């Protein structure tokens, strides 16, 4: 029995998932070994480590799984960069579109028993969200081991509460749809509201773009840097930057008469002679951020820049930015964006590729939840 135990423990460890094989006795274990079952798994590269637990009738086998990375049509530009950073080719997906506008995704690579990562931001149109739901359903029906939805930009996140009677909570509905479709885990970046994580009854890995923006700010070496929030809702985010960079904090207080239209704005804090950097998670119509920049320049700021994770840029946003007092706007590629003389794009591919690696290998990713983390 001891000899058999030594043979078992000599198997080399590696990275994998866990599954459990029940045994009733050591005799049964050695019978399986004599039958060649364990050696078969070893030769196939399936068994990486076997551990016997004293007093328990369970054999824990660590076995290899493969990673499949697929993308919806809306985020293929980013998924290709993530797959390259991860070190493998992007999986093949075909989308059949019918004459009435319906569509159906199909995986052209086997996914059975694998860790499946589906990359798709859910910015408008809503087809992007529904395409992701169909892909999750297809993966579940194809017997994928785990289905992880990588959603760089989580659409409908601004609908996180009832702010007036008889309205929906869109963010909660989206989380319910994803769960019902069969997703096992969510990876996303800079949710509009952190509390949306609580809408899910499954693991949510919420990453921050600060690990990308902070190094850029440090390289700029602005002499009189001050961080600013374009509204009171983003105060916590801007304060985190100010604390880490040891700078002053400025807050803009705005009043709206209706969505996407700012009526009044007031600056709280001293901006005279300072290089201001506005921080926001989303720029939509760019009305708020541009009005804040113009107001700060009028009050004596040296320069005004902006950091934004998700560049929605709807309506006349481009025109507003280029006609505003903003010197530069740094954005990420969670939503497809072209660089201009004012708009600079920073890729998130390395962060997502590293998180995919860590999830697959069952390693901690808590370092990516830390504001100071740099990739």
What contacts 164, CB < 8 A, 6 or more positions away?
none
**Cβ(119)–Cβ(79) below 8 Å:** yes
Strand partners, 18: 62
254 classed as catalytic: yes
Give alpha helix (H) positions in the chain.
2-9, 26-34, 37-43, 76-86, 127-141, 170-181, 210-220, 235-245, 287-298, 317-323, 349-360
d(CA 236, CA 239): 5
**Cβ(32)–Cβ(65) below 8 Å:** no
Q: Considering 33, 145, 254, 344, which one is annotated as catalytic?
A: 254
Count CB-CB contacts under 10 A for residue 164. Answer: 5
Helices 210-220 and 235-245 cross at an angle (nearest 10°) of 50
d(CA 97, CA 327): 43
Is residue 127 helix, strand or coil? helix
Question: How many residues does the structure list for the chain?
Answer: 375
Name the residue among 221, 195, 233, 319 with its Cα closest to residue 277.
221
Is residue 68 helix, strand or coil? strand
Name the residue among 28, 47, 25, 49 with its Cα closest to residue 38.
47
Instruction: Name the token pair of 185.
Output: 């885990």
**Cβ(347)–Cβ(189) below 8 Å:** no
CA distances from 21 to 24, 96, 361 (A): 10, 41, 21
Count CB-CB contacts under 10 A for residue 248. Answer: 16
Residue indicated by tokens 């660089």: 339
Indicate which residues carry an active-site annotation.
254
């Amino acid at each position: 029995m001891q000899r058999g135990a030594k043979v078992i423990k000599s198997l080399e460890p590696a990275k994998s998932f866990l599954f459990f094989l029940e045994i009733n006795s050591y005799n049964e274990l050695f019978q399986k070994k004599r039958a060649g079952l364990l050696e078969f798994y070893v030769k196939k590269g399936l068994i990486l480590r076997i551990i016997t637990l004293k007093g328990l009738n369970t054999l824990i086998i660590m076995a290899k799984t493969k990673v499949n990375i697929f993308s919806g049509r809306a985020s293929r530009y980013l998924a290709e960069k993530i797959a390259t950073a991860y070190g493998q080719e992007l999986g093949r997906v075909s989308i059949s579109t019918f004459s009435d506008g319906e569509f159906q995704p199909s995986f052209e690579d086997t996914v059975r028993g694998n860790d499946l990562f589906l990359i798709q931001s859910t910015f408008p149109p809503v087809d992007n969200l529904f395409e992701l739901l169909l892909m999750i359903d297809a993966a579940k029906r194809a017997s994928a081991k785990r289905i992880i939805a990588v959603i760089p930009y989580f659409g409908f996140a601004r609908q996180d509460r009832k702010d007036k009677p008889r309205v929906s909570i869109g963010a909660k509905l989206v989380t319910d749809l994803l769960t019902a479709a069969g997703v096992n885990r969510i990876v996303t970046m800079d949710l509009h509201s952190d509390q949306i994580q609580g809408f899910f009854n499954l693991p949510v890995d919420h990453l921050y773009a600060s690990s990308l923006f902070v190094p850029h700010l440090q390289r700029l070496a602005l002499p009189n840097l001050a961080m600013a929030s374009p509204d009171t809702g983003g105060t916590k985010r801007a304060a985190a930057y100010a604390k880490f960079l040891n700078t002053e904090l400025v807050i803009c207080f705005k009043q709206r008469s209706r969505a996407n239209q700012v009526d009044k704005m007031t600056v709280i804090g001293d901006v005279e002679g300072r290089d201001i950097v506005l921080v926001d998670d989303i720029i939509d119509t760019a009305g708020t951020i541009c009005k804040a920049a113009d107001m700060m320049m009028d009050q004596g700021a040296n320069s005004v820049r902006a950091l934004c994770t998700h560049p929605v840029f709807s309506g006349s946003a481009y025109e507003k930015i280029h006609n505003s007092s903003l010197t530069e706007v740094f954005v990420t590629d969670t939503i497809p964006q072209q660089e201009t003389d004012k708009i600079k794009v920073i890729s998130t591919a390395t962060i997502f590729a590293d998180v995919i690696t860590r999830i697959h290998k069952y390693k901690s990713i808590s370092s990516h939840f830390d504001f100071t983390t740099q990739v």
